[in-house]
Amino acid sequence: MSQISSNGLKTDSKRLFKDQFAKYGVMTGGVLVLCALLLIFFYLLYVVKPVFNAAHIEPRSSVSTMANKYVAVGIEEQTEIAFGLTDKGMVDFYNVKGSGTGKLITSVDANIDDNIIAFSSSAPHQGQYAYLNEHGEITVIKPSFRVAFPNDVRTLTPVITYPFGEQPTPALDLPAGEARNILSRGEKTNFAFATDENAIGIVYKTANDDVIFSRLESEEDMFTDELSWTSYQSDLNFVTGTIQQLLISPDASRLFVVTDKHIYVANSRDAEDVQLLYTVDVGRNAATITTAKLLAGANSLMVGYSDGYIGQWFETNSADGRAFIQSRHFQMAVDTEDKAVVAIYPEFYRRTFTAVTKSGEANIFHTTSEAELWQGQLVDQAILDFEFSPRSNAIVIYSAKGLSVFKIENEHPEVSWSGLWQEVWYEGYPEADYIWQSSSASDDFESKFSLVPISFGTLKAAMYAMMFAVPIGLAAAVYTAYFMAPSVRKIVKPTVEIMEALPTVILGFLAGLWLAPVIEEHLPGVVLLLILLPLSVFITAFIWHNLPTKVRNKVPAGWDSIILLPIVVIVGWTSFALSPLVELWLFDGNTRLFITNDLGITFDQRNSLIVGIAMGFAVIPTIFSIAEDAVFSVPKTLSSGSLALGATQWQTLVKVVLLTASPGIFSAVMMGLGRAVGETMIVLMATGNTPIMDWSIFEGMRTLSANIAVEMPESEVGSSHYRILFLAAFVLFIFTFFFNTIAEFVRQRLREKYSSL
């Protein structure tokens, strides 16, 4: 049975059906490919978008009727129970979630001596509070929550624990009765403490404005389990001026004394000989210092002023040695005239902090991203105390109106466009820099998420691979398609194309474990090979060209390249055989030592040279196959016509064949570049995966794809690290999309320009 087709001819109906099926099948496949690309694009955006969401705070619950007045408040990890501590050692626990919100759950008496003269809290993540009595004795308590599951229902039971026992510990070596004059009741600024596993560090100011550091070390009696304490004490007589704040690092190794004009930083590891490390002038004209606080990790000191200015200070290396410097500053953005920073409250583990004014205005900042995350009025009265929850998803505020609990959505404060793509000054670094270091063994680690080093590494790896692959691939393609005998081409072309089937993991394995040590051991031989091989090829060609015609005619046309095979083998063997002699003659027997010591160049065994060779070897088949097909597809009539008009083979190749094949050749190069940019396993195994920015061929790099492969398994789902890895995948997607788009645009222009040939 036949039908009339669109061109008016009779065609078999089955063939028409097959044609239509093929037409729409190909169309459907193309549309599905585009849909898949769009789905990948938008899914990456969907995962990445939350890292750029602004912080959001909303009221959740409150406690207006309170049993006591408090000197400190807090909230447990699940944000179900808030607590307040009185200046007499009473701890009240309130339900702030679910039914019964605002109800007093229980009041626990810590059984501390009534004659309390001072109170202080530890670093937030330690969750400890200390009371000093008039006898100079200290009691450390910690509100805790026991979890039980009666009848499969989770319940929290508030309790008070004593990390160093219930009995007060003698802390201050002072004459009888003088301890009462150290501080006024409830004062926080002139007494600070920190605890270690078996030690307590205390820094305090006496009535005579003397600053003293005391360290208490305990030893447990093996028979009675009682603790015996030994006290070590030092007078910080280098401190002068009106003291504004006393601070101590969580491990009690650093002391920070903030006066009206200066910061004194001291090393307190030796409690009997505290050494002054730095004295820094922090005065700012008419503005006065109002408060100071250590951030998580105790590496940064935040200093607040009466004009709303907040400076960040930390210890780092400088040209003159170690120094305590100001790295950045923030400014309170409040609507009231009184911008004085009355208190700074840090998060448990991240570099986020809240600065508040006397009127209750608050600003939330993050130091690493240098971002103001939120600004507004949390309560309409002065904030007496403020605390983040351990997971930083809630805050509890104590004011004259009571306790207020707020829900806070601020999952990714460390991420900003400037932090991802600009230099950032991290704690302890001498200057701002591009750094990728996503994780550490410490909970208070300052994550470093600059995408610049790994983007740079991607381009660096691709560049060295293309420097190796493009000349070899294109030269081999042109020679195979234009000069080589057909019988030889039938062997060479499939052989090179089979190379593309080699798993890249095998190439990376061989490059990292075999090639890298070989090149390190015979580096002079590699340099000799790069010099002698081209030279030997030219010399061989010159000799061959001057041989008698009878001798040259004995080799069939197109088989000339076979003569070079033994030359390449001999030159390669000779170069590596001469390597030890050259190394001994020029580099005193150790090339690597010469490079590192004399030239001052870092040498990594797995470096860019290894990556360039291994990844270039993987890219060569792609470039060769596409370019060879493009050159071979040039109509023979064009080359024959050129030769007939008197042009030489070389002129025909340059003026006719290469111009006609240029769209395909350019596509081959860009396809190879796309392959190099997206390569994972070779750069993962053949380089040290160090995210550094250096064009040196003797140093490694870390690429976007390798970074994703290495770190995705260890990242927490939904974390900043996890989403930034998806952002790295998005950047890689944009890279390849950009290169492919440019390739297609140039290819079309070249095709239009030379299609008339």
pLDDT in tens, 470-509: 999 999 999 888 888 888 888 888 888 888 888 888 888 8
Q: What is the mean pLDDT of residues 411-429?
A: 90
DSSP 8-state assignment for residue 361: E
CA-closest candidate to residue 744, choices 676, 666, 628, 633: 666
For strand 129-133 and strand 137-148, is the pairing parallel, antiparallel, or unpaired? antiparallel
Which residues, at least 6 apart from 126, have a Cβ–Cβ distance to it below 8 Å? 194, 195, 250
Q: What is the mean pLDDT of residues 716-741?
A: 89
pLDDT at 174: 60
CA-closest candidate to residue 350, choices 474, 456, 444, 490: 444
Pick the range with the lowest mean pLDDT from 122-131, 620-629, 738-747: 738-747
Amino acid at 146: R
Q: Are the CB atoms for 301 and 313 separated by under 8 Å?
A: yes
Q: Are the CB atoms for 481 and 631 separated by under 8 Å?
A: yes
Query: Could you tell me the two tokens for 101?
Result: 């919100």
What does each C-alpha distance from 482 to 11, 544, 645, 649, 652 come to in angstroms? 42, 20, 18, 9, 10
Q: Residue 171: which pLDDT band, with cuts at 50, 70 and 90?
A: confident
- Assess whether pLDDT exceeds 90 at residue 179: no
Cα(488)–Cα(58) distance, rounded to whole angstroms? 76
- Assess whether pLDDT exceeds 50 at residue 44: yes
DSSP 8-state assignment for residue 284: B
- Assess whether pLDDT exceeds 90 at residue 364: yes
Q: Residue 189: which pLDDT band, with cuts at 50, 70 and 90?
A: low
Q: Are the CB atoms for 668 and 630 separated by under 8 Å?
A: yes
Helix, strand and coil content of the chain, in percent to the nearest 5, comes to: 40, 25, 35
Length of the chain, please?
757
Q: Which residues of 331-358 are buried (b: 16+ CB within 10 A; e: fewer)?
A: ebebeeeebbbbbbbbbbbbbbbbbbbb
Q: Which residues of 564-600 are buried (b: 16+ CB within 10 A; e: fewer)?
A: beeeeeebbeebbebbeebbeeebeeebbebbeeeee
Residue 518 parent element (H or E): helix 516-521
- Assess whether pLDDT exceeds 60 at residue 6: no
What does each C-alpha distance from 508 to 232, 408, 489, 502, 679 come to in angstroms? 58, 46, 29, 11, 10
Helices (H), 588-703: 591-593, 608-632, 636-644, 649-652, 658-678, 681-686
Cα(315)–Cα(450) distance, rounded to whole angstroms? 22
- Assess whether pLDDT exceeds 90 at residue 178: no
Cα(47)–Cα(55) distance, rounded to whole angstroms? 17
- Assess whether pLDDT exceeds 60 at residue 681: yes
What does each C-alpha distance from 711 to 87, 623, 684, 726 come to in angstroms? 48, 31, 11, 11
Q: Are the CB atoms for 268 and 252 separated by under 8 Å?
A: yes
Q: What is the mean pLDDT of residues 418-428?
A: 90
Report CA torsion sign: 584, 585, 591, 595: positive
Q: Residue 385: which pLDDT band, with cuts at 50, 70 and 90?
A: very high
Burial class (CB in 10 A: 0-12, 13-18, 19+), 728: buried
Q: What is the pTM of this model?
A: 0.86
Q: Are the CB atoms for 699 and 596 separated by under 8 Å?
A: no
Q: Which residue has the higher pLDDT, 283 or 301?
A: 301
Q: Which of helix, strand or coil describes residue 101?
A: coil
- Assess whether pLDDT exceeds 90 at residue 723: yes
CA-closest candidate to residue 174, choices 183, 165, 162: 183
Q: Residue 82: which pLDDT band, with cuts at 50, 70 and 90?
A: very high
CA angle (753, 633, 545) in 5-degree steps: 100
DSSP 8-state assignment for residue 236: -
Cα(375)–Cα(521) distance, rounded to whole angstroms? 60
Render 39-85 in DSSP notation, one character per residue: HHHHHHHHHHGGGGPPPEEEEEEEE-S-SS--SEEEE-TTSSEEEEE
Q: Residue 184: which pLDDT band, with cuts at 50, 70 and 90?
A: very low
Pick the range with the lowest mean pLDDT from 451-455, 560-564, 572-576, 604-608: 560-564
Cα(212)–Cα(202) distance, rounded to whole angstroms? 8
Q: Residue 689: which pLDDT band, with cuts at 50, 70 and 90?
A: confident
Q: Are the CB atoms for 345 and 293 separated by under 8 Å?
A: yes
Q: What would the pLDDT profile of 698-715 be if each residue is shown by its tens digit?
A: 888 899 999 999 998 888
3-state secondary structure 301-348: EEEEECCCEEEEEEEEEECCEEEEEEEEEEECCCCCCCCCCCEEEECC
Cα(662)–Cα(277) distance, rounded to whole angstroms? 67
Query: Could you tell me the two tokens for 430?
Result: 């001498």
What would you measure as the largest C-alpha separation in the chain, in angstroms?
A: 119
Q: What would the pLDDT profile of 277-299 be if each residue is shown by its tens digit?
A: 999 998 888 888 999 999 998 89
pLDDT at 684: 87
Phi-psi group of 226: left, alpha or beta (phi > 0 → left; psi -120 to 50 → alpha; rest → beta): beta
Which residues, at least 6 apart from 505, have a Cβ–Cβ distance to it below 8 Å? 681, 685
Cα(105)–Cα(107) distance, rounded to whole angstroms? 7
Query: Could you tell me the two tokens for 357?
Result: 């004014």
Q: CB neighbours (10 Å) of residue 427?
A: 18
Helices (H), 243-341: none
Q: Which of helix, strand or coil describes residue 445?
A: coil
Q: What would the pLDDT profile of 100-129 be if each residue is shown by its tens digit?
A: 788 898 999 888 876 788 889 999 989 999
Q: What would the pLDDT profile of 440-479 be if each residue is shown by its tens digit?
A: 767 678 889 999 999 999 999 999 999 999 999 999 999 8
Q: CB neighbours (10 Å) of residue 731?
A: 17
Q: What is the mean pLDDT of residues 140-145?
A: 92
CA-closest candidate to residue 404, choices 435, 425, 383, 434: 383
DSSP 8-state assignment for residue 480: I
The CATH superfamily holding the domain 452-754 is MetI-like (1.10.3720.10)
Query: Could you tell me the two tokens for 297?
Result: 């990790």
pLDDT at 224: 66
Q: Which residues of 73-88 are buried (b: 16+ CB within 10 A; e: fewer)?
A: bbbbebbbbbbbbbbb
